[in-house]
Amino acid sequence: MVERMVQAEDYEPFVGGETIERIQKKAKSLAGLHVVNINSTYYGGGVAELLSSTSLLMNSVGIKTGWRVIQGPPDFFSITKKMHNALQGDEINLSERKMEIYEEVIQENAIRNHLDSHNMVIIHDPQPLPMIHHYKKNGPWVWRCHIDLTSPNRELWDYLAPTIEKYDAVILSLKDYAQNIKTPQVFFMPAIDPFKIKNREMSEEEMKERLAHYEIPTDLPLVVQISRFDRWKDPLGVIQAFHLARKEVDCTLVLLGNVATDDPEGAEIYESLLDSREERVIILSVQDTALVNALQRQAAVVLQKSIREGFGLTVAEAMWKGTPVIGGNAGGIRYQIEDGVNGFLVSSVEEAAERIVRLIKDQKLREEMGKKAKETVREKFLLIRYLEQYLDLFNAFETIYRLKGLPGS
Ligand code: UDP
């Protein structure tokens, strides 16, 4: 049986018929557009998560949209992860050798990809960024950077900026990340797909079955963080906060994580946490989206104690399930959580511990915050809004290109 793909109309119960009609109208004027997205991993992490749903939703409104993933050897991904870290503020030793490997692997990918027939190219994050050097444009090229650019390393930024400026537009997740470059910058916060296995309704039975499968006890309230194993997500801080909280309330911690194919540091971070395992500290590295759903629903509290976070999809996912989230006061999380209203923002282990205790002790507070959290996601963080922002950008390009008589119009 072929399953019916999600359509824009499916969002009607959440956003109303008028919004859907408006979006369909915007898409209609873009028929004939051939879009391709390029990133560096097909799973693990928010970019792949977003691309898998957004590319399908765009096809559902009649825009031919593809998604391709670049390939590279481990040393390439080790360099690009260092770049990712440096864009989030770390130091980097930007040697000639690193730049050569980076540029050469991207040239190889450019040769293999034949992007000449697409009239809209969207390149995600720094890994495939230099692809633009290897093509004659047949329409706009957009760089979509998902990273927290609060304080990028200057040396790296200065190296990347001339390439970024070859693009026709840059999409960043927040205005706070705007940079001093010539290219026009627009700001789209990511969003979640409520129809995915990870986010859709789940029966009590299904939930219990998934948790039992991994021997996750439900006798005590669950405190959960779900994240790639990455130090920016502060997993050690989560464990410390949990231990502090446990002095006052009894609970179980579950840290669920995965490792993206473009992130060579993940395995090391995972291993560094294993000594913290004990009866009430469960650390799992499995790829199971139904388990993500079950944990986000069953949790009394979800944590996302990030130090840097472009935008936390995991935050929106948990909020959508009516679970209150304690988020690090960083990056996009500050725009997802309104402190003390639909969750809590924290800046230290102690603050996180205090909020865990408060939420576990107060069921009414959990319910109230959870309800508001769900409503926040319905209003602001569903994928249909993200789709409309893309359509607006594409339509703006169409107008410019038509006026200028450029190819791709
Ligand atoms: N995720 C998952 N399994 C895991 C850990 C994370 O499926 O074990 C998913 C998570 O549900 C979310 C995405 O990976 O959809 C992470 O996106 P986010 O924006 O939170 O962080 P990123 O990894 O992009 O920094």
220 token code pair: 């005590």
Q: Indicate whether 42 and 134 sit together in one domain.
A: yes
- Round to whole Å and give the CA distance between 245 and 258: 25
Q: Which residues of 128-152 are buried (b: 16+ CB within 10 A; e: fewer)?
A: bbbbbeeeebbbbbbbbbbbbbbeb
Average pLDDT on 261-272 reads: 92
Whether 2 is in a domain gets the answer: no
The CATH number given to whatever domain includes residue 330 is 3.40.50.2000
Q: Among candidates 162, 166, 184, 188, which has minimal Cα distance to 175?
A: 188
Q: What pLDDT sits at residue 399? A: 76
pLDDT level of residue 261 (50, 70, 90 thresholds): confident
191 lines ligand 1 (CB under 6 A): no
Task: Kindly report the protein residue whose alpha carbon is nearest to atom 23 of ligand 1.
Answer: 45
Q: Indicate whether 118 and 223 sit together in one domain.
A: no
Q: Indicate whether 180 and 75 sit together in one domain.
A: yes
pLDDT in tens, 279-335: 999 999 999 999 999 999 999 999 999 999 999 999 999 999 999 999 999 999 999
Give percent of the chain with pLDDT exceeding 70: 97
Whether 196 is in a domain gets the answer: no
Q: Which domain holds residue 143?
A: 8-191+382-402
Q: Which residues of 293-302 are buried (b: 16+ CB within 10 A; e: fewer)?
A: bbbbbbbbbb
Q: What pLDDT sits at residue 260? A: 85
Whether 116 is in a domain gets the answer: yes
317 lines ligand 1 (CB under 6 A): yes
Average pLDDT on 375-386 reads: 98
- 213 backbone dihedrals φ, ψ, rounded to 5°: -55, -35
Q: Indicate whether 218 and 299 sit together in one domain.
A: yes
Average pLDDT on 195-213 reads: 97
Whether 199 is in a domain gets the answer: no
pLDDT at 36 over 80: yes
Whether 56 is in a domain gets the answer: yes
Whether 122 is in a domain gets the answer: yes
- Round to whole Å and give the CA distance between 239 and 248: 15
Whether 312 is in a domain gets the answer: yes
Q: Indicate whether 315 and 283 sit together in one domain.
A: yes
Count of structural domains, the chain: 2
Q: Indicate whether 161 and 239 sit together in one domain.
A: no
Q: What pLDDT sits at residue 406? A: 64
Q: Give distance in angstroms: CA of 406 to centre of ligand 1.
A: 39
Q: What pLDDT sits at residue 262? A: 87
pLDDT at 1 over 70: no
pLDDT level of residue 400 (50, 70, 90 thresholds): confident
Q: Give distance in angstroms: CA of 313 to centre of ligand 1.
A: 7
User: Over the chain, what is the mean pLDDT?
Assistant: 96
Q: Give distance in angstroms: CA of 314 to centre of ligand 1.
A: 6
The residue whose CB lies within 8 Å of the most ligand 1 atoms, and thus the one to mutate among 53, 307, 314, 325, is: 314
Average pLDDT on 252-280 reads: 94
Q: Indicate whether 242 and 311 sit together in one domain.
A: yes
CA torsion 215→275→285→196, rounded to 10°? 80
pLDDT level of residue 13 (50, 70, 90 thresholds): very high
Q: Indicate whether 148 and 239 sit together in one domain.
A: no
Which conformational region is residue 339 in: left (phi greater than 0), alpha (psi within -120 to 50 degrees), or beta? beta
Q: Indicate whether 373 and 388 sit together in one domain.
A: no
Q: Indicate whether 337 and 313 sit together in one domain.
A: yes
Q: Which atom of ligand 1 is the closest one to the Cα of 314? A: 20
pLDDT at 405 over 80: no
Q: Which atom of ligand 1 is the closest one to the Cα of 257? A: 8
Q: Which residues pair with 255 in a beta bridge?
A: 225, 283
Q: Indicate whether 87 and 172 sit together in one domain.
A: yes
Whether 408 is in a domain gets the answer: no
Q: Among candidates 90, 73, 46, which has minimal Cα distance to 231?
A: 90
CA distances from 1 to 8, 194, 292, 342 (A): 22, 22, 26, 41
Q: Indicate whether 355 and 394 sit together in one domain.
A: no
pLDDT in tens, 135-166: 999 999 999 999 999 999 999 999 999 999 99
pLDDT level of residue 44 (50, 70, 90 thresholds): confident
